[in-house]
């Protein structure tokens, strides 16, 4: 009886410990930097498998350092150079962790943007990276070669490089270095100019597991669609004084603490989030919505939107809208362009309201909490929108000083949409 009780207590401790660690661990690392020569937007996943995280972090660091060496001091008269790293991450069968890093580099140094993919399939049980040979039986390599060939002829017949293709598709599984596993398919990647002319870009060839004897990898876990979320509308007095705090590039490990703090002060804020962080931070975002905060669209992966073609721009926005709707049951009405850079053409091609800011705290640059606080407060006026980023701990520390000060000054903290509504009411009252 006594032993049973001890076991129960121990189990409770374990559960609390597991619960705490999982909510305290970061899920996606984000780095956004801007200086006179370069724009950098990087997102990569944290798997909490030490070996795998070390490998990914090392790779990202290498790319970042190499880019800075190459372009950091290159003062182009035309445009800044851009580095963007985006990721895809999924886990199959609770065991195989699949990551692809999608690297994009553009510079007026280059005739065309350079983009490439790097993939990692990590077996958590064996604690090692897998090659294609570890996964696909050798006698299936001929089937893979014929699937790749027919896929290329069907989709890329105008740009196949025949000699390269012949060399690439052989019986050696290790000649395929870029691949990941999804719930029902193996995806093979080929770099630009590897087997097709470079203008066809990176090629992704999907191969159904059942065609190559990998039925045991099929993963039936389906994502459940959720209902539309309803937020209560507040009645705000148009004669009051209002400020909108806004946070870009999140969520992050710090966001939960921030929203709990804001909630405790009855303050609402607007978060411009990245589409590629919606699923990993679903719980934080749902909590944020339940507290009455607003979520806005800040693109899928923080590419420099103005530099994209209009189709890619629309795709970045739509993909983020869809993932938010399907994951959170919430559809944003606001969009904040990355690096605050927006054109009339972009405005014409989105139905979302563009939300910029009046006060830039530069919290991504300044490491001092007091500096961030004074930048937020020194020229603040009724109706202002303040820009911050909830991916830095110092920003959360600064908010805890900014909010009480704003309250003392008589301001109420509202979302950007609430602020717009108040401005509309004031306008109508003047008529």
Residues with Cβ within 8 Å of 318's Cβ and at least 6 positions away in sequence, in order, are none
- Nearer of residues 267 and 391 to Zn ion, judged by Cβ: 391
Instruction: State the residues that interact with Zn ion by CB under 5 A.
Output: 248-249
- Nearer of residues 248 and 390 to Zn ion, judged by Cβ: 248
CA dihedral 41, 46, 50, 51 (to 10 degrees): -60
Least Å distance, CB 392 to Zn ion, is 12
- Nearer of residues 219 and 360 to Zn ion, judged by Cβ: 360
- Nearer of residues 263 and 319 to Zn ion, judged by Cβ: 319
Residue 304 backbone class (left: φ over 0; alpha: ψ -120 to 50; beta: rest): beta
Least Å distance, CB 338 to Zn ion, is 5
Least Å distance, CB 248 to Zn ion, is 4
> 3-state DSSP call for residue 428?
helix
Least Å distance, CB 90 to Zn ion, is 25
Residue number with the shortest CB distance to Zn ion? 248
Least Å distance, CB 297 to Zn ion, is 11
Residue 362 backbone class (left: φ over 0; alpha: ψ -120 to 50; beta: rest): left
Edge-first strand order for the sheet with 179-181 is 179-181, 185-190, 203-208
State which H helix or E strand residue 13 sits in: helix 2-24
- Nearer of residues 39 and 259 to Zn ion, judged by Cβ: 39
Per the CB < 8 A criterion, the answer to whether 229 and 191 are in contact is no
- Nearer of residues 248 and 418 to Zn ion, judged by Cβ: 248
Residue spans of alpha helices (H) in 277-388: 282-290, 310-328, 344-348, 369-377
Which one-letter DSSP state was computed for residue 196? B
The DSSP string of 62-97 is HHHHHHHHHHTT---SS--EEEEEEEEEEEETTTEE
- Nearer of residues 217 and 391 to Zn ion, judged by Cβ: 391
Least Å distance, CB 304 to Zn ion, is 10
- Nearer of residues 42 and 121 to Zn ion, judged by Cβ: 42
Least Å distance, CB 71 to Zn ion, is 20
Least Å distance, CB 84 to Zn ion, is 12
Cα torsion angle, 157, 163, 166, 172, sign: negative
CA dihedral 95, 101, 102, 103 (to 10 degrees): -170
């Amino acid at each position: 009886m006594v032993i049973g009780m001890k076991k129960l207590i121990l189990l409770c401790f374990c559960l609390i410990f597991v619960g705490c660690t999982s909510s305290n661990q970061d899920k996606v690392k984000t780095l956004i930097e801007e200086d006179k020569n370069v724009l950098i937007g990087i997102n990569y996943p944290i798997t909490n498998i030490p070996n795998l995280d070390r490998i990914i972090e090392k790779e990202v660091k290498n790319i970042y350092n190499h880019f800075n060496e190459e372009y950091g001091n290159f003062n182009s008269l035309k445009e800044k150079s851009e580095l963007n790293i985006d990721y895809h991450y999924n886990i199959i069968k609770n065991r195989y962790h699949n990551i692809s890093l999608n690297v994009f580099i553009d510079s007026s140094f280059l005739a065309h943007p350079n983009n490439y993919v790097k993939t990692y399939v990590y077996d958590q049980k064996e604690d090692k990276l897998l090659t294609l040979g570890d996964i696909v039986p050798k006698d299936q390599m001929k089937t893979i070669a014929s699937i790749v060939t027919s896929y290329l002829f069907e989709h890329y017949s105008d740009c196949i490089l025949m000699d390269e293709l012949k060399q690439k598709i052989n019986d050696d599984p290790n000649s395929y270095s870029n691949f990941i596993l999804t719930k029902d398919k193996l995806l093979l990647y080929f770099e630009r100019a590897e087997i097709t002319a470079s203008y066809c870009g990176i090629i992704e060839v999907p191969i159904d597991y059942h065609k190559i004897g990998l039925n045991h990898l099929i993963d039936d876990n389906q994502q459940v669609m959720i209902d539309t979320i309803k937020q209560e509308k507040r009645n705000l007095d148009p004669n009051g004084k209002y400020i909108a705090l806004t946070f870009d590039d999140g969520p992050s490990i710090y966001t939960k603490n921030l929203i709990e703090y804001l909630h405790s002060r009855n303050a609402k804020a607007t978060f411009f989030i990245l589409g590629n962080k919606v699923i990993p931070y679903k719980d934080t975002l749902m909590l944020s919505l339940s507290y009455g905060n607003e979520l806005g669209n800040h693109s899928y992966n923080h590419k420099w939107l103005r530099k994209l073609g209009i189709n890619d721009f629309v795709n970045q926005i739509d993909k983020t809208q869809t993932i938010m709707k399907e994951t959170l049951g919430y559809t944003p009405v606001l969009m904040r362009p990355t690096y605050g850079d927006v054109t009339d053409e972009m405005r014409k091609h989105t139905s979302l309201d563009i939300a910029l800011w009046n006060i830039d705290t530069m919290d991504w640059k300044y490491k001092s909490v007091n500096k961030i606080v004074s930048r937020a407060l020194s020229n603040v006026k009724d109706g202002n929108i303040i820009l911050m980023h909830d991916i830095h701990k110092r920003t959360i520390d600064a908010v805890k000083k900014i909010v009480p000060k704003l309250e003392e000054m008589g301001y109420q903290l509202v979302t950007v949409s609430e602020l717009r509504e108040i401005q509309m009411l004031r306008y109508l009252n003047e008529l």
